[in-house]
Structure 1
Amino acid sequence: MKKLLIAPALVATTFGLGACSENYAVEGGLAGAAAGAGVAAVTGEDIETYALAGAAAGGLAGYFIDKNDDCDGYGRDGYLDEDCFGDDGYPDDPRY
């Protein structure tokens, strides 16, 4: 029974972070955790393991999806948001 409480706890602790992010990492993680827990419940596997694996996969996938399609400048990792290339004060897109 304790394992069934992990997914709601994950949702409760990360839900507030979604409003601040520039991508869908949090939402992807939540959806992945729910999907993983659902698969584990149906197949009789370990719910905690599947929820964590689903959260990791969903969070990683959501990280690469830009929410607002606006120029958000440089991120904490030092990379320039691809929506900024060519805007005033930013370099041209080096990929073209």
Structure 2
Amino acid sequence: MKTRFALIPVAAISALSLSACAENYAVEGGVGGAALGAGVAAVTGGNVLRYALAGAAAGALAGYFVDKNDGCDGYDEDGYLDDDCFDTQGYPADPRY
């Protein structure tokens, strides 16, 4: 019973990580966050699994927003333009400036 509930966040993180692993650091952030969380739990005497899952979630979320290749990847599946494409040939000017 306890194991089943522990796997729910892992499945959610896996889905997020695999959805765009080619363009960002979600997978690497999740692994690093899990290791950091487990290390903190070991030092402080906390629940290692809980800290590792929390660290993995935080790391994957942070890594999701870091662009891996700094190149123009065009439009994503939601219709948003990659920030690296603005002001390049065939794409509009950056509306933020």
Per the normalisation by structure 1, the TM-score is 0.76
Q: CA deviation at 1:61?
A: 1.0
Q: Which amino acid aligns with 2:86?
A: F
In 2: Cα distance, 1:77 partner to 1:42 partner: 42
Corresponding residue number in structure 2 for 1:27: 28
Alignment of 1:1-96 (within 5 A): 20-96=21-97
The alignment covers a number of residue pairs equal to 85
CA deviation vs aligned residue, 1:13-36 (integer Å, no higher than 9, x gap): 8xxx5xx52111110111000000
Give the CA deviation at 1:41.
Answer: 1.3
Runs of at least 5 residues in structure 2 that lack an aligned partner in the other structure: 8-13
- Over the matched positions of the two proteins, sequence identity in percent amounts to 73
Structure 1: unaligned runs, 5 residues or longer: 7-12
SS in 2 for 1:88: coil
- CA separation in 1, counterparts of 2:40 and 2:78? 34
Deviation for aligned residue 1:62 = 0.9
TM-score (norm 2): 0.75
RMSD: 2.5
Q: Measure, in 2, the Cα distance between the counterparts of 1:49 and 1:78.
A: 36
How much has 1:67 moved relative to structure 2?
Answer: 1.0
Secondary structure, aligned partner of 1:61: helix
1:71 offset after TM fit, Å? 0.0
